[in-house]
Chains A and B, each alone.
Chain A
Amino acid sequence: MEPFALLLDTLTTTPSRKGKLALLSEYFRAAPDPDRGYALAALTDGLFPRLPLRRSLATLLETRVDPVLYALSRDYVGDTAETVALLWPEPTDRPPPPRLSEVVTAIANAPPSEIAGTLGHLLDRLDTRGRWALLKLVGGAPRVGVSARLAKTALAEIRPDTAAHAVGVSDIEEIWHALEPPYTDLFLWLEGKAPRPDAGGKPVFRPLMLAHAIEEQDWASFAPEDFAAEWKWDGIRVQIAAHGGHVRIFSRTGDDISRSFPEIVSAFERHDVLADGELLVARRGVVAAFNDLQQRLNRKVVTGKMLKDHPAHVRLYDLLIVDGEDLRELSFRERRLRLEAWHSAHGPPLTDVSPLVPFETRAELDALWADAREASIEGLMLKRWTSPYLSGRPRGHWFKWKRAALTLDCVLMYAQRGSGKRSSYYSDYTFGVWREIENPEAATGPRGDIYPGHELVPVGKAYSGMTDAELIEIDRFVRNHTVEQFGPVRAVEPRLVLEVAFDAIFPSPRHKSGLAMRFPRIHRIRWDKPAVEADTLTAAQRLVANAANALAR
């Protein structure tokens, strides 16, 4: 348990990806089986189903810690697991600490009524760091800034240089969902001591074929007859694997997200396919904005209300395997025909096929692209008719052509320090647009004096898009124009205009302005533009209305 606790603790303060990778692969190399396998499970899919942790902790603390001191401490620390770890009474003579595998077995085998007691015995054997790690482990995903993909990437690095074949993260992803903790056979394979584990009959993830953003030089050799066009839908890319009554929905990185979308799982239950598509929220055939889909992502429990208010839908665009026949070697044109034929014969409910967008000439294509204004469309996809399905991001086959970003001129309101390499810079920016003050008496927004009768309302936050040189300039501006400081955040004089680019804008009751942006980034710094000439909330709302009108057309 101690090496794992040290790993988790060190990861929380290691900002760089490289540093995290080094720590992880060092651990995976050094830790014995089955401990490292359980650690891997904890960092990827989670180790335990939901345990009654809160109740167990309450039971445990009752007899050991004074309730008033606990409450004062909890208020100060701000995190229950950490508070308990810190004020757990230190035994005078601590028994030797358990191994991670012992911890996992003990908790997994404890009947619900004995979870608290088991946890108590384990806590008595651990030091502060170990207790913290244990409680994080039991509480679900330990948030230490490591994605499942990063953990798998580190795993690929433990393969010795002497092994016959190098292993990439996609090789691991492909068999991942057929494996189970503690992943002993996976480690043996990675260390070159055993063959690659067999996926057996279970539905598994096949790494996706990804598109490149189209660039100027790609257009030079572009021939309209060589390419099919489809709309680029603003949902999330999924792969649906259905086989032998089991259905899995995988995200583009191979995370299993089946649990959040039970209706899609049951739609595919009687099928035997591996299909690519876009996961969307659609109401009566009309695709909703990405924000609607976001309400459904990362939900462990899906309520009936959610299913009704935010119904999921899959828009299919490729067929990889059907009834055991692997189509990946076929051309896109042939796969497309097979997809259409299969769907019209057996199409599961809650699915449709992404229509092809017909075009004859480059000029027609340009016009289609320029007119795409619906919130649910991000642009166009161009796919070479002759391309087989190739995992990864091969050049020259698939292109994405995102429509031009929307922009607004916003005023910088708050700046926050970044982390890691950027910790000495103010690199996260909150910006706003002007709103007319209806009732000047009750005005609460900052600085009506710059633009009389108007106040700024925040419309978004961005921390990318600027060059390193621009970052230094904005940092200097922030320091020289601070009006107030709250911890790592500074409020600045409303003077600097930032041209902000974003992919979409939609209504959001959670934000003060009533609007939220998708993927906002700093497009340009308008040192030349007076703040009073920045955009208004009305202009921002007009962009939302344009998207809605386009949808209605």
Chain B
Amino acid sequence: MTARSVSITFAGSGGAGVMTAGNMLLDAAGRAGWHGYMTRSSGAQIRGGEAAAMLRLSTEPVESHDDYFDLLVAIDWQNVGRFSAEIPMTSDGLVLGDPEGGDFPEQISAKGTRRAEIPFKKMSKDIPGGRANMIALGAVAALIGLPEDAVNSVLHEALKKKGAEALTSSEASMRAGMEYAANLPASARLETDGVKAESLWSITGNEAAGLGAVRGGIRFVAAYPITPGTEVLEWLAPNLAKLGGVLVQAEDELASINQIIGASYGGTPSLTATAGPGLALMMESIGLAVASEVPIVVVNVMRGGPSTGIPVKSEQSDLNIALYGLHGDAPHLVLAPNTLADCAFTTQWAVQLAEALQTAAIVLSDQSLGQSRATIEAPADPGFFACRLRPEGPLEGRYRRYLNTPSGVSPMAQPGMKGYQYTADGLEHNEIGTPSSHTVDHSTQLDKRLRKLTAYDYGEHWADIEGEGDIAVVTWGSTTGPVREALARWREAGNQARLVSVRLLSPVQPEKLAAALDGVKRVLIVEQSHGAQFHRYLRAHYDLPGSVRAFHRPGPLPIRPAEVFGQLANWS
């Protein structure tokens, strides 16, 4: 049976090499001209524990997981049952496991899925230096119809540094897996006529966010490690150095946010990346950036909350703190990427906006975008670049850093500019920057800081709008992937519907959303939060036409396309 996409999970105890097998399968699929998407799931253990690499391979671009998995390959069964809810399967699916790999988990057998055995342990013992994960890779490649050449070239690339011995044993293991697959029942296969696209990239969302940052001109980053945002920083560390920029590891998030404010005050476009707990610590100083009008970008890779929550699983529940977490009236930018590739685009746009508007921008990515790897068309550089308004010409009279201009944006001097010395201040201030508690100064500066955001023309990128008809699904961030797929099926079934995925969450764009929803009779809101944060946000700031329903659920389970489809189909 051939399919448009196949979904595979490699599972096993930590150290069994399931992530390596997943990464290689993804890269091999890319070399065969296929698109792919891979998420990872793991237990809380630092090392060991259970791990799963979940892949979806397709001949077309994929942005999310399918409703069900076609294949589950367990190198052993150690605690794999814990992932059961994250690996939905039907009786059409196929579970492969080692008869010596421990007890078959009840949660898996309860699904009624077809089962078959591969003796990983025994087979790897028969091959000098044999590796169970490479046997699994070979078996899966053969089952889904992935050309051997593609797997071989990835294997050579990955193992050339490890020496001939490692390569030989891995190759032998992989081939043994491929040969063994002839004994296995058939599984879903992909068409193999894929042509390798020249411009395919293998990239994670966190790497893409880092790339967007440097494309936008970021050259200073302060970093404090936190799951699942750390990889943004880890990608930036060597790459910023190559560009002549700097990454500094800070002592805590209070330091990292203030270091980037200091560097940006000095004229260098600056960014940090974090996750919920870190964002909460940074809030006071993000307000400082707003009040002192120092541009900064904070990439927040969301995870389950509150408090420490579920650090390794995705959720869209930092929307409220990003929008409303600052004390005082503090208008700022909040943006959200809605695909893995869009992590680059949106972060880069955020850099440009923060710099142009001299304010703080929060970019709300999440674990499912940030820590997933995908094979995608190389995202072109959209050209957004940091461009800060500087004072020009000879200084006439005293420099007014916080001059109340019609646009609300005032020319910003930087240290070294003779005659332009001023004090940036989080205290309310007058146009010069001198602290002031006068009513007129407060209202003037509040108006100015709001006006510069509301008067700016954000153009078409505020949302992705697709389709037509009198039904609309409004969503944001990573849930856009399953919604988009559900709507494709909806249209294939002969229906119509619109998608509105909001990228610019603050400042709000009520006229643009009203136009996007013009003539709509039903609005379905989809989000991954327990408290329906996005639904409430829309209700507070927008007039939604017709009848409105919200489909919201907390993490860690991703929203599946079939669930969104079901919401539309069962709406009577």
A binds B: no
**Interface residues, chain A, CB within 8 Å of chain B?**
none
